[in-house]
Chains A and B, each alone.
Chain A
Amino acid sequence: MQKRNKYSEIEDFLADESFQAWVLFKIDKEGWEEWTLESRQRAKLVQDARLMLLAMKVPENELSSSDIHRALQATWVKIREKENQKYVKTSKIRFLGKQILTGVAATLFICFISSWIYSTYFKIDNNIVTYNELVDENNEGLVEQTNNTTKPQIITLSDGSSVLLQPNSKLSYPKIFTGNERKVYLSGEGFFEISKNPHKPFYVYANEIVTKVVGTSFRVKAYSDQPDVEILVRTGKVKVKSNDLVSKSDKEEIVLLPNQALRFQRSDLKFNKITNITQDAVLAQSVGNIEQLSFEFNDIPVSQIFETIEQAYLVDIDYPKNKLIDCHLTTSLSDQPLTEKLKIVCKSIGNNTSFEMNGNQIIITSEGCN
């Protein structure tokens, strides 16, 4: 540290990290205070340098670690796209990472899918598409999550979408969505809420059916031992068609709007559109918790909002009850995946509020509301 004895210009000081630390963060490890006072001339120079530094502040936006993490994920997506582009000469691949960051989530509910019992299956084995076949077809390196418990489990996908996976069901999905499509594979039942990204349609492959959504979220349920596949839409628009593996000629695509449903008979590959779900006993019965709960909140205590989320997604939310006791919110969360819901609630409570998600355990940190 004796090099500072030779300092003769303001510049020398400005470039000295330890000097900067002393002036800007009041960290004086090198004893600048004392050293400065050793000579009058030196004190003058030091003071000038100090004022200069104080006049040169730059605005520093601190990104949160989750922002940085999201940026990193978006970058990996870009990398995969670029690598694909490099090896396969596809011309139309575009960088969509940004859209993932900014994508606004909306909600739709899809699909109840079921399948024949194994024995039936083999009789018409030509037409039967199994989950395993579908997953094997995909070479993106999928992650599989199986719910062997008795309660639904929440899964958050890399694009912010959430899936509430029912017991005895499994979902395969890429760790990070790459390319121009988002594809997941379902066996059993799931409730999907997909974050909006018109440039990257989301597909759920379940048995013989492919369900496509563009700018909304959806829910899928597909058991391999039931005769029909059922799809139920809540909000947004959903397109359903049979998987090419079943019938290459049949390009029939059915569009479903909110509160419409579709039943697909696996035995004869027939679609049956149901426009009034309340009149269909089976469908009316299969509506889950999450469809029944309202996410429209009008001056409602935060505690109650958390309770609603807990019931809908079967998660545990831990939050500072005392600090949030007087907080009331008015907000509409119907159209959002879980992570978006939490983000909106935290933002509405105040800037110093954040959440952390670990499986079905959610921890809210807050210093109280605005």
Chain B
Amino acid sequence: MKTRALHLNSVDDNTLWNDLKNGDEKSFSLLFERYYNDLVNYGNSLSPYEEKVQDCIQDVFTDIWVYRNSLQTAVVVKAYLLSSVRKRIARLYERDHIFRKTASTDDIAFLLEFSVENDLLDDDYATKEKVHYLNRLLNELPPRQKEALYLRYHQGLSVEQIAEMLDVNYQSASNLLHRGLLTLRKEWKGTLPLITLLFSSTL
């Protein structure tokens, strides 16, 4: 979100993308600088090997430049980049015996743990507890649901784009997102009175 805000006034992705296709190095560098950090953050949530992650991202950009002539024109640049990075890392997992023996793209696990924005949580104690509880529930979700949530709300991808990335149809992607939140809300609602009770009794 921060990065998005920063680039409000600059040239849009697709202009840069098309200039890049026509061999403009400057546009390539601008896109690189715009998304590298985001991609590193995403990559790190898929693999604990930071150096390899950066290597993969650089390989993605390398291929973009080397094969720029065969790139499609109408792409959502950010979704394209995120998806390429994911594929790259998955390939690394397949190839590299240092990595665990997981095989296909579907199996690379989203490792990221959501945390709590404590600095912004200026609420009362009960609400704070609620957020921490919610956070725990979020982290207990299956990796793919977590990843869908991350892509939707942190990287701002649309449901279609997430479906494409995770290689599922629209309905499944939507389910991933929805089910994630639904389970959460159900549990949250179900347990809350109990929590409140617990608190009031300890107070």
Contact = CB atoms under 8 A, between A and B. Distances in A.
B104 to A, nearest CB: 24
Contacts of B37: 61-63, 68
Interface string A29-69: 00000000000000000001001111111111111010011
Contacts of A68: 32-33, 36-37
Interface in A45-100: 48, 51-63, 65, 68-69, 71-72, 74-75, 78-79, 82-83, 86, 95, 97-98
A143 to B, nearest CB: 16
Contacts of B127: 51
Contacts of A58: 41, 45, 112, 114-115, 150, 154
A20 to B, nearest CB: 6
A329 interface: no
B40 A25 contact: no
A75 B112 contact: no
B1 A20 contact: yes
Interface in A217-252: none
Given A58-B112, A62-B37, A14 B153 contact: yes
B138 A55 contact: yes
Given A11-B177, A21-B1, A51-B131, A59 B115 contact: yes
Nearest to A26: B120
Nearest to B174: A11
B130 A51 contact: yes
B181 A10 contact: yes
Interface string B161-197: 0000000000000000110010011000000000000
Given A54-B117, A82-B66, A86-B66, A72 B33 contact: yes
Contacts of A56: 114, 135, 138, 149, 153-154
Contacts of B61: 75
B58 interface: yes
Nearest to B55: A98
Contacts of B33: 65, 68-69, 72
A54 B134 CA distance: 9
Contact of B36 (A48, A71, A78): A71
A218 B66 CA distance: 34
B54 interface: yes
A49 to B, nearest CB: 10
A137 interface: no
A74 B152 contact: no
A95 B36 contact: no
B116 A54 contact: yes
User: Interface residues of B toward A: which range?
Assistant: 35 or more
Interface string B24-60: 0000010011001100110011000001001101110
Interface in B105-119: 112, 114-117
Contact of B131 (A15, A24, A55, A75): A55
Contacts of B57: 71
B75 interface: no
A57 B59 CA distance: 28
B66 A79 contact: yes
Contacts of B29: 72
A29 to B, nearest CB: 11
Contacts of B114: 55-58
Given A54-B121, A57-B116, A98-B51, A25 B1 contact: yes
Contacts of B131: 51, 54-55
A363 to B, nearest CB: 22
A274 interface: no
A283 interface: no
Interface string B70-112: 0000000000000000000000000000000000000000001
Contacts of B1: 17, 20-21, 24-25
Interface centre among A53, A75, A97, by most chain B C-beta atoms within 10 angstroms, is A75
Contacts of A25: 1-2
Interface string B1-21: 110110000000000000000
From B40, B121, B153, residue with most partner A Cβ within 10 Å: B153
Contacts of A14: 152-153
24 contacts: A14-B152, A14-B153, A15-B156, A23-B120, A24-B120, A52-B181, A53-B117, A54-B120, A54-B131, A55-B114, A55-B117, A56-B138, A58-B150, A59-B112, A61-B40, A63-B36, A71-B54, A72-B32, A75-B32, A75-B58, A79-B62, A79-B65, A83-B66, A101-B54
Interface of A: 10-11, 14-15, 17, 20-21, 23-26, 48, 51-63, 65, 68-69, 71-72, 74-75, 78-79, 82-83, 86, 95, 97-98, 101-102
Q: Which 6 A-B pairs have the closest CB atoms?
A: A55-B135, A55-B134, A78-B62, A75-B58, A57-B117, A54-B117
